[in-house]
């Protein structure tokens, strides 16, 4: 499976496609994420993207939008963990390996997605304000772990919400799924750390009902209907167990509404 | 399985009542033996009639992929049921809570898939846990890690074969919970280290494992007595 196949295909079709893709993706990126993006830019960007793919498939154009969206979240996570690990005395010595492993993965995801989109290093990276939620994550270890768990749970929901948009792009779908489960591993261990720090056994590696803070990240996690089957009470299990057994997706719009305040252009 | 099931064919006959009691005792004794042998007959109390030598065909298309998931969830649910029923000595309260949660999640996955598949569902599978020492923490948690990592790799590799976007979403909803399980089990084995998402499962590109169904079934076969064919699954 090769995430770069889409770019290879394009190059065979049109040698200038990559240059135009880079230009288009930057404009689209700004219109999607910059709160300052004008309506005109928001309309123009999809047209620019479409022109890049005028000889390629519609599915590929959709996949590029998914990759750009994913890259934004990976930039956020990569910078967050890099800053946390660089802040002297913030992360206890016996927790640095755990967070360095997470940082390593987020940096790898950034590189992978930049490569797939034909971007140079940090080409689309916005500036971030990690204190936008009113909590300075670098002021205390607990703050840092709290924001980390929020970003990871949000990331899991974000990737899940895009799976359907990749159903006709097998290679990219599989790559996205392989990132998605890594984010879920991150979420699980960070939640366990938060549980210990707060001495709160109700914070588990998995999400119970729609419990959690910030609330918008957990909204809808208490859904019990999947593929048209309502499983409330299945096998005599509690609602807690039934909702823990399934993670829920979030739309791109919902994710950007949550992540937006952390992004300062 | 036939030894246990046949006596119940005519429970009103006096002879069969005796045989029935023998059958029940045989079953209970067999189940009791699991402490020593680890062997456990999963399908013994279920409705499906199945020849001992019958090969189960997962089927084709989305149904085949869902049956593939159903087979793996049956395996996981049976494993954790036995883990809790025969808790290893020294199991901490936290470990019991976690493993009970995971058992319930896997049972819910299994029953959900059975309900979603309806009449297309494969029968209950016979499992073989003879290689596992359920009284030994390392054996239990080591097996749990393998099963969870395998589940993640299975869903990651199978998603691309699903045609129905609703089923793809469901697979996504389940796989991240399997990944949470995998990380939590790994965190029990090597607390707060790199191991929860170790370099043995996450590659240099930050990607988790994805495996094709044929590979997964070969990995799982030591735990499954029933022969399964995936020949008709999408490739």
pLDDT in tens, A129-188: 999 999 999 999 999 999 999 999 999 999 999 999 999 999 999 999 999 999 999 999
Tell me if residue B41 falls in helix, strand or coil.
coil
Question: Do B80 and B28 fall within a single domain?
Answer: no
* pLDDT of A103 higher than 80: yes
Picking from B112, B115, B175, the nearest residue to A181 by CB comes out as B175
Domain presence at residue B68: yes
Question: Do B55 and B124 fall within a single domain?
Answer: yes
Most confident of A32-36, A232-236, B21-25, B52-56: A232-236
Domain presence at residue B46: no
- The model's pLDDT over B24-36, given as tens digits with 9 standing for 90+, comes to 333 333 333 333 3
* pLDDT of A75 higher than 70: yes
Chain position carrying tokens 């494993």: B79
Q: What is the CATH number of the domain that holds B151?
A: 1.20.1260.10
- The model's pLDDT over B42-88, given as tens digits with 9 standing for 90+, comes to 333 344 444 455 899 999 999 999 999 999 999 999 999 999 999 99
The CATH class of the A58-206+247-264 domain is mainly alpha
For chain B, say whether A246 makes contact (Cβ under 8 Å). Answer: yes
State the SS3 of chain A. CCCCHHHHHHHHHCCCHHHHHHHHHHHHHHHHHCCCCCHHHHHHHHHHHHHHCCCCCHHHHHHHHHHHHHHHHHHHHHHHHHHHHHCCCCCCHHHHHHHHHHHHHHHHHHHHHHHHHCCCCCCCCCEECCCCCCCCCCCCHHHHHHHHHHHHHHHHHHHHHHHHHHCCCHHHHHHHHHHHHHHHHHHHHHHHHHHHHHCCCCCCCCCCCCCCCCHHHHCCCCCCEECCEECCCHHHCCHHHHHHCCCCCCCHHHHHHHHHHHEEC
Please report, for chain A, the start and end positions of each structural domain, with discontinuous segments joined by +. 58-206+247-264
- Range(s) of the domain holding residue B24: 1-37
Question: Do B170 and B92 fall within a single domain?
Answer: yes
CB B136 within 8 A of CB A138: no
Domain presence at residue B42: no
CA gap A101, B161 in Å, rounded: 31
For chain A, say whether B210 makes contact (Cβ under 8 Å). Answer: yes
Question: Do B94 and B33 fall within a single domain?
Answer: no
Domain presence at residue B45: no
Residue-level pLDDT at B154: 98
CA gap A162, B165 in Å, rounded: 11
CA distance B128 to chain A (A): 23
Question: Do B18 and B64 fall within a single domain?
Answer: no
Domain presence at residue B192: yes
Check B210 against A178: CB less than 8 A apart. Answer: yes
Task: Tell me which of B176, B187, B212 to substitute to probe the interface with A (most A C-beta atoms closer than 10 Å).
Answer: B176
CA gap B191, B66 in Å, rounded: 34
ipTM > 0.90, yes or no: no
For chain B, say whether A96 makes contact (Cβ under 8 Å). Answer: no
List all residues of chain B from 46 to 105 with a beta carbon under 8 Å from chain A: 94, 97-98, 101, 104-105
Picking from B170, B175, B181, the nearest residue to A177 by CB comes out as B175
Check B173 against A1: CB less than 8 A apart. Answer: no
Check A249 against B157: CB less than 8 A apart. Answer: no
Domain presence at residue B118: yes
CA distance B15 to chain A (A): 34
Q: Of A94-98, A216-220, B32-36, B226-230, which gets the smallest average pLDDT? A: B32-36
Question: Do B22 and B98 fall within a single domain?
Answer: no
Question: Do B157 and B56 fall within a single domain?
Answer: yes
The DSSP code for B136 is -
Question: Do B106 and B79 fall within a single domain?
Answer: yes
CA gap A251, B7 in Å, rounded: 55
Check B210 against A97: CB less than 8 A apart. Answer: no
* pLDDT of A213 higher than 50: yes
Higher pLDDT, A263 or A25: A263
Check B181 against A205: CB less than 8 A apart. Answer: yes
User: What tokens were used for A168?
Assistant: 């006709």
Number of domains in chain B: 2
B154 to each of A170, B198, B220, how far by Cα in Å?
Answer: 15, 18, 11
Domain presence at residue B234: no
């Amino acid at each position: 499976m090769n995430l770069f196949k889409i770019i290879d295909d394009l190059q065979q079709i049109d040698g200038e496609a990559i240059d135009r893709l880079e230009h288009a993706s930057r404009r689209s990126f700004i219109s999607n994420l910059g709160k300052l993006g004008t309506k005109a830019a928001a309309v123009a960007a999809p047209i620019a993207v479409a022109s890049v793919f005028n000889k390629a498939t519609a599915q590929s154009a959709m996949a590029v939008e998914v990759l750009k969206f994913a890259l934004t979240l990976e930039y956020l996570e990569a910078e967050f963990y890099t800053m946390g690990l660089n802040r002297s005395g913030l992360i206890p010595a016996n927790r640095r390996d755990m967070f360095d492993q997470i940082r390593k993965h987020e940096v790898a995801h950034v590189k992978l997605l930049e490569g797939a989109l034909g971007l140079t290093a940090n080409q689309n990276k916005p500036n971030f304000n990690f204190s936008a939620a009113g909590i300075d994550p670098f002021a205390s270890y607990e703050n840092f772990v709290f924001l980390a768990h929020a970003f990871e749970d949000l990331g899991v929901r974000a990737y899940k919400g895009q799976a359907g948009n990749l159903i006709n792009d097998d290679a990219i779908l599989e790559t996205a799924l392989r990132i998605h489960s890594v984010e879920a591993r991150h979420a699980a261990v960070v939640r366990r750390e938060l549980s210990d720090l707060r001495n709160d056994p109700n914070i588990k590696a998995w999400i119970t009902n729609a419990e959690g803070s910030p609330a918008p990240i957990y909204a809808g996690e208490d859904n019990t209907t999947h593929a048209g089957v309502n499983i409330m009470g299945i096998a005599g299990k509690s609602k807690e167990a039934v909702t823990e057994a399934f993670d829920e997706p979030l739309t791109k719009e919902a994710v950007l509404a949550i992540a937006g305040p952390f992004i300062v252009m | 399985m036939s030894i246990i099931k046949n006596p119940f064919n005519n429970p009103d006959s006096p002879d069969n009542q005796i045989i029935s009691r023998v059958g029940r005792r045989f079953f209970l004794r067999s189940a009791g033996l699991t402490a020593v042998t680890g062997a456990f007959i999963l399908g013994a109390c279920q409705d499906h009639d199945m020849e001992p030598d019958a090969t189960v065909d997962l089927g084709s298309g989305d149904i085949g992929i869902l049956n593939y998931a159903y087979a793996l969830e049956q395996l996981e649910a049976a494993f954790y049921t036995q883990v809790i029923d025969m808790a290893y000595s020294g199991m901490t309260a936290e470990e019991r809570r976690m493993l009970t949660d995971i058992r319930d999640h896997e049972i819910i996955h299994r029953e959900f898939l059975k309900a979603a598949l309806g009449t297309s569902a494969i029968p209950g599978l016979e499992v073989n846990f003879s290689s596992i020492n359920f009284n030994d923490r390392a054996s239990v948690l080591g097996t749990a890690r393998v099963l969870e990592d395998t589940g993640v790799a299975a869903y990651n590799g199978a998603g691309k074969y699903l045609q129905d976007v609703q089923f793809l979403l469901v697979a996504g909803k389940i796989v991240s919970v399997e990944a949470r399980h995998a990380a939590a089990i790994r965190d029990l084995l090597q607390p707060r280290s790199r191991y929860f998402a170790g370099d043995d499962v996450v590659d240099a590109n930050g990607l988790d494992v994805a495996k094709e169904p044929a590979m997964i079934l070969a990995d799982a076969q030591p735990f499954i007595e029933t022969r399964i064919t995936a020949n008709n699954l999408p490739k």
